[in-house]
A and B are shown apart, each in its own frame.
Chain A
């Protein structure tokens, strides 16, 4: 053995080859160059900060009356005005953000988990498994999501938990399709075949080999799913199907909707909060997407 290797050129730890940065580094750089993505990141940080640190900086009970109903913003007791019960809007938005973001994140997790499971099995096994799973997916896609969620919430009651599950249960097909497409693409790559010939079992191939490779676009999808779920929750609340016992942005809008003409702030401000959050998530998502897109990166 040694006699042959001695004659071979030894490529050392500093290969002569091109030395591109590690993909993660490359990704970070591409992301950092994207101004709108950075703006999104900052906005997101602000919203998260408001929601999670806000209660310490602004310790006002969002459920108690601090002023007359419909006190306009800039008032003595409530900087952003009060709602129909004279409750502090700012405190409400801070408090509501937690539920909204929690619903958004949890629903996104549910939809992504279901979507990845369905999509990865369909994409990995193909054939009959794929056909059956895709029929199920198609089935869920032809039903208008909001209607289906409305039915689910009506049946199982309007609590944050059921709303979260309802949203998750109706929004997974998109993730599933994406996951399936990614799995189908990646499973054809030689390194998957190589792992199989290396003795990998299916579970290993699915979760350790293919899934990590399929993850970046799925992470983006998950992020966007959070935004979509927030909008979804707001929509349900607007239709009066929100959880009345937990303050959320959607609920604030839904409850104050009738007073829009007289107390614009009660509807506009939580709307703006949703808007900024979803916008920020989308900008960051787009930024990640662009940073992952090699075609754009090269430019």
Chain B
């Protein structure tokens, strides 16, 4: 099967006025129809930049400096701005983190949904309204007829995120990029949103790029995973491979840092008490180590890690890690 979206060796830099700093350095991702790719990492690792670069919405001073992004065979980096506008909201759309601020406060729900339909599908406003209503039903908003005339502030956070999803799905895009779509929501609502996304994905065969810092969310949603660290994709593979047998020390560190809920009998298991730690923090832009970027925080790092760029090590077909010692797993955690 061909990937619907392929990011190859993407490089993004930011012009700080004095020099161009690397933000993303050779990120490669493949997104398949009907599948979900989880992109994980701490803040500052370049997850959102990857998403924005794909959408062609990089902020001022940020620019793609290398690599390619192909959407259904079309080179997005070569596309004209007008073509990109045609694709945005149509073939690819995006869901943002903050449903509170991502909707225009002064426009009705109807307007915000129909706008994208009228723009890309050249429908009349009556038709667009029908589709909008359909979309609201699809995202399981109760009383969709009433909600059309509502303003965002009249909706709860979960409802707003549903509206965002309705907007994103309105033109049946091939790809949806969901940038931390549930971070701002309560856990019970997060569960609802994830379920909804999965259901809709099954119906539409849309590919989803789920950007998250939460390995739990990855486990819940993703088929494939890419782990980003300091602008590099340090590990990628299927969700089973990565969560089951993480190869990169960073991935393993993240796994150990995540507190697990222990229910039932496990609740009183004193063995599970400990919480792992990754010392230090993600290096800021422009201060990325030269060789392995994770080396300063890595307990396994030796001199080689600090001096030589690590190779891509394929632990299994489709599962690769950017590390000198991918097999030294489990030795430390």
List residues of B whose CB falls within 8 A of some A CB. 60-61, 279-281, 283-285, 296
Does A16 count as interface, using CB distance less than 8 angstroms? yes
Interface centre among B60, B281, B285, B296 (most CB of A within 10 A): B281
Ranked 7 nearest A-B pairs via Cβ = A18-B284, A9-B279, A299-B60, A16-B280, A16-B281, A17-B281, A9-B280
- Residue in A closest to B297 when the chains form the complex, CB atoms: A16
Whether A17 contacts B60 by the Cβ 8 Å rule is no
Contacts of A17 in B (CB 8 A): 281, 284
B61 surroundings in chain A (CB, below 8 A):
299
User: What separation, in Å, do the CA atoms of A51 and B296 have in the docked complex?
Assistant: 61
A1-31 CB contact bits vs B (8 Å, 1 = yes)?
Answer: 0000000010000001111000000000000
In whole angstroms, what is the CA distance A16 to B281 when docked? 8
- 13 pairs, CB–CB < 8 Å, chain A vs chain B: A9-B279, A9-B280, A16-B280, A16-B281, A16-B283, A16-B296, A17-B281, A17-B284, A18-B284, A18-B285, A19-B284, A299-B60, A299-B61
Shortest distance from the beta carbon of B183 to any chain A beta carbon, whole Å: 20
Distance of A18 Cα from B283 Cα, bound (Å) = 8
Besides A16-B280, A299-B61, 11 new A-B residue pairs in contact (Cβ under 8 A), listed by A number: A9-B279, A9-B280, A16-B281, A16-B283, A16-B296, A17-B281, A17-B284, A18-B284, A18-B285, A19-B284, A299-B60
Nearest A residue to B60 via CB reads A299
Cα distance A26–B198 when bound, in Å?
Answer: 46
Contacts of A18 in B (CB 8 A): 284-285
Q: With the chains together, A16 CA to B61 CA distance in Å?
A: 25
Residue of B nearest to A299 (CB): B60
Task: State the Cβ distance, B249 to closest chain A Cβ, in Å.
Answer: 17
Residue of A nearest to B44 (CB): A18
* Distance A19 CA – B284 CA, assembled complex (angstroms): 9
What distance in Å separates the Cβ of B63 from its nearest Cβ neighbour in chain A? Answer: 14
Residues from chain B with a CB closer than 8 A to the CB of A9 are 279-280
Q: Quick one: closest B residue to A33, CB to CB?
A: B17
A299–B60 CA distance with the chains assembled, in angstroms: 7
Min CB distance A195 to B, Å, is 27
Question: How many angstroms between the C-alpha atoms of A299 and B279 in the bound complex?
Answer: 33
